[in-house]
Chain A
Amino acid sequence: MRRDATHADARLARWLVAPALLVVTGVALVPAAATAWEALHRHDLRLPWLGTPFVGLANFAEALGDPRFAAALARTMLFAAVSVPIELACGLALALVMHHLVRGRAIARVGALLPWAIPTVVAALAWRFFFETSDPGGVGWLTRPVAAWVPIVAADVWKTTPFVAVLLLAGLQTIDPALYDAARVDGASPARQLVTITLPLLAPALVVAAAFRTLDALRLFDLPYVMTAGGPGTATEPLSLYAFVALMQRLRVGYGSALSICVFLLALGVAMAAVRALGRAAPGGHA
């Protein structure tokens, strides 16, 4: 009887999964396939007389030998490595605060989510304005290669902390309060409760938050595009922005598609790591 139930369950599972899978792959398959096709061909819209010959992996080879690509790649990974932990920490702090607030909880929640609600362009403009006009420290932030990252990271953290907080808050609210009561009776400090109860039980949500923030960070585009256009020089040009330059300014669809696939592969690596981590982190879950 258990085998029948499992059988029925497995069939149901496939039916339940099918719609989402069909919609997502159906719609996204075409651009993915098109990008893959373009990446294997030379296709420069400005020079139609050259046609679109098949060039195999030549575009990828060009990318590997392109110092601007290597620099953009390194920058992108560094940005992810720096901004994601900051966002997780701030998001967790915000989630904890929102969770424990007794008075003004509703206002706090609405207020805390508004940065996520503001269009990215406006957020970028507001932060750029702040750094340009008030120029804390007289540094001239947006005009210096390393310092220009600070406004970008600040804007990114500001905008996405609510996202992380919302993810974690939902998780926080399903943790049985009895566990905390027991710990308090045992004399555990709040910090100890955080480490031994909260974080482990929050692990799945943390993994999801980390995975998605990392994926978004690897595909960073809007903020540098609006705030610095990738400048000074190319100091704040992430990989997606370089792909944009190749596609939309140079009209080199082949090369730009190859760059896009590189971004995709990078993100895929992260996604696979996240899948494994999610499998391990969930209580009783299997990857």
Chain B
Amino acid sequence: MHTGRLLLACLAVVAACGDASGPRLTFSGSDVGAEGAVIRAQLDRFAARHPGVRVELRLTPDAADQRHQLYVQWLNARAEEPDVLQLDIIWTAEFAAAGWLRPLGAPDDIEDFLPAALEADRWQGSLYAVPWFVDAGLLYWRRDLLGAPPSTLDELREDAERAMRTGAVSAGLVWQGARYEGLVTVFLEHLVAFGGAILDARGRVRVDEPPAVRALTFMRDSVTGQGLVPRAALAWQEEQTRFAFQNGDALFMRNWPYAWALVQDARQSRVAGQVGVAVFPGADGGRPAAALGGAQLAVNRYTEEPDLAEALVTFLTAPEQMLERAQAAAQLPARRSLYATDALAAALPLPIDEIRAVLEAAVPRPVTPVYSELSELLQVRLHRALTGQEAPDEALRGAADAIRDLLARTGLAASDPPAPEPAE
């Protein structure tokens, strides 16, 4: 780890001394914790395979907003570096439409990548990024208080009420309710559980239809009605939810896979060894769902080393490198074939069968260049409904109207005539 750092420091110094010989590739990502060690090692290995090529790691903050802002700033200024960008799954369409990414040649093993993640990386027929690792929303549950995870939302509610009545926990379910992107992923899981969608396959807005209203009402009632979800959760992001669960305060937690290692760590968690994961259950008319997140790798349109940059992307998304990341940082690879291997099962701290089930239930968020704005419009309304400032149907109608307006204004609305509405 230290040699790698030293090497990169030397590379940086040499680079700073002006354009030395040989091409230079810059990769933009983070080096926090185990991820950092792994990425540095992999970049070194790539450099070793391409003698004369220098590969540098440019650190960008992992906080999504800040990294997004930096990318927008650099790309809008047509900066040639960084050459390879780590993108959030919801940014690819936006950056591709803005003309900031190079279209990539489809890799030979493109079938191996998770289809939902791959869809997010296509824009107008071309591929603009390659899935790197994925995240999916999980339902964490307490093995010491339940025999099996709930298979429907009603069961979840009953289990939670029972546990709260016995005083074993003070909260039935905790999720991320702050006014940010995480809220949309939580809502998405509830939405699909009731059979709804934000946009349908044709791109029409469906978020004000009855299933969505039922989903949002369920969420709101969880907070205000039955008190399943503590009101404080309406200001929580991932970490606060994790702390509530690992302190033993909640029966269920909806969170990302990152939390697993932490809640199972006996040194800090009161529930270590008593935790299981499952897919967020469905309800009437819907199915279990896991919101899909993760990172993609893309190439800067203004790069001076397009071929090398693409080679780096191919290298980092190769099965060996993905497996190494899984082993070091417990990140879920974006390749389907790896999930059949024993190596991955051994590498991941999470139970592999549940993870496979979760990934099969993965639901992507709408793929559109205006997703950030769409999400923000939705977040505001969702949060108003949850905090009791608006009724759920009113809130969703407002959100849907705003989103329709947005899509129409930007010329991204669905062009097909609406299909006849199915009888409800």
Contact = CB atoms under 8 A, between A and B. Distances in A.
Q: Is the interface of B mostly helix, strand, loop or mixed?
A: helix
A45 B232 contact: no
A45 B381 CA distance: 25
B372 to A, nearest CB: 5
A229 B69 CA distance: 16
Contact of B98 (A45, A128, A231, A245): A45
Instruction: Rank and list the top 7 A-B pairs by shortest CB-CB distance, nearest first.
Output: A231-B179, A233-B384, A142-B235, A232-B387, A143-B234, A46-B369, A250-B373
Nearest to B395: A233
Contacts of A229: 178-180
Q: Is the interface of A mostly helix, strand, loop or mixed?
A: loop
Interface of B: 65, 68-69, 72, 76, 94, 97-99, 178-180, 231-232, 234-235, 240, 369-370, 372-373, 376, 380-381, 383-384, 386-387, 389-390, 410-411
B384 A46 contact: no
B243 to A, nearest CB: 10
22 contacts: A44-B410, A45-B98, A46-B410, A47-B97, A47-B369, A50-B411, A128-B235, A135-B232, A140-B232, A143-B231, A144-B387, A145-B387, A145-B389, A228-B178, A228-B179, A231-B179, A232-B179, A232-B384, A233-B381, A233-B383, A249-B373, A251-B94
Contacts of B380: 233-234
A223 to B, nearest CB: 14
A91 interface: no
A222 to B, nearest CB: 13
Contacts of B411: 47, 50
B232 A143 contact: yes
B96 to A, nearest CB: 10
Interface in A68-106: none
A132 B372 contact: no
A47 B94 CA distance: 9
A248 interface: yes
A132 B232 contact: yes
Interface residues on A, range: 20 to 34
Contacts of A248: 65, 68-69, 72
Contacts of A44: 410
Given A48-B97, A231-B179, 13 more contacts: A44-B410, A46-B97, A132-B240, A140-B234, A145-B387, A145-B389, A228-B235, A229-B178, A231-B234, A231-B387, A233-B383, A248-B68, A248-B72
A153 B97 CA distance: 40
Among A45, A228, A230, chain B packs the most CB atoms within 10 A around the CB of A45
A46 B178 contact: no
Contacts of A50: 411
B341 to A, nearest CB: 39
A52 to B, nearest CB: 12
Interface in A134-169: 135, 140, 142-145
Among B68, B373, B386, chain A packs the most CB atoms within 10 A around the CB of B373
Contacts of B240: 132
A249 B65 CA distance: 8
B179 A46 contact: no
Nearest to B236: A132
A48 B98 CA distance: 6
A143 B235 CA distance: 6
Contacts of B178: 228-229, 231
B232 A232 contact: no
B98 A251 contact: yes
B313 to A, nearest CB: 23
B231 A245 contact: no
Interface in A226-264: 228-235, 245, 248-251
B11 to A, nearest CB: 31
Contacts of B386: 232
Nearest to A148: B235
A45 B72 contact: yes
Given A143-B232, A228-B235, A248-B69, A45 B384 contact: no
Contact of B376 (A48, A132, A143, A245): A245
A47 B96 CA distance: 10
A132 B76 CA distance: 38
A171 to B, nearest CB: 39
A135 to B, nearest CB: 7
